């Protein structure tokens, strides 16, 4: 697994991104290829490649990801109608960047989650 990702560079502000939130644990920014009117990525500031690599020491950052998602959903005006939080894991789970990240999707009806065959 990589030690450096595009998300690492966004966190350090080495490449441009529309950063909506950043603290000592997590960074949130707009997805460059949105799948919904609101599509935000929330990432831990330290590299965790996949969900399979999560350690108990990561719990604070992962919990912060969820509280930041709720804050950003409220700020975006989508909290009352609802939104979806997604974390993909590895190739079959649809993970493309091997730096764990949560997708916050909303602003329209997302529909049921159905895997294609």
Cα 68 from Cα 87, distance rounded (Å):
15
Domain boundaries, given as residue ranges, for the chain: 6-106
pLDDT at position 112 over 90:
no
Catalytic-role residue among 46, 92, 99, 101: 101
**What is the torsional sign of CA 38, 84, 101, 61?**
positive
3-state SS assignment for residue 37: coil
Residue pair 40/85 in contact (Cβ under 8 Å)? The answer is no
Quick check: is 39 catalytic?
Answer: no
Cα 26 from Cα 13, distance rounded (Å):
13
% of the chain with per-residue pLDDT over 90: 91
Instruction: Summarize pLDDT for 6-15 with one digit per residue, the tens.
Output: 999 999 999 9
CATH superfamily of 6-106: HIT-like (3.30.428.10)
pLDDT at position 116 over 80:
no
pLDDT at position 92 over 90:
yes
Kindly give the residue spans of alpha helices, DSSP state H, lying in the chain.
Answer: 6-11, 59-75
């Amino acid at each position: 697994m990589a030690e450096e990702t595009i998300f690492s560079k966004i966190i350090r502000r080495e490449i441009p991104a529309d950063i909506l939130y950043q603290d000592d644990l997590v960074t949130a920014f707009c997805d460059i290829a949105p799948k919904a009117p609101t599509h935000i990525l929330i990432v831990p500031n330290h590299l965790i490649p996949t969900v399979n690599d999560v350690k108990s020491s990561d719990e604070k950052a992962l919990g912060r990801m969820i509280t930041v998602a709720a804050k950003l959903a409220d700020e975006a005006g989508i909290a009352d109608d609802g939104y979806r939080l997604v974390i993909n894991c590895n190739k079959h789970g649809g993970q493309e960047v091997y730096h764990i990240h949560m997708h916050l999707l909303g602003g329209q009806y997302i529909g049921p989650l159905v895997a294609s065959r």
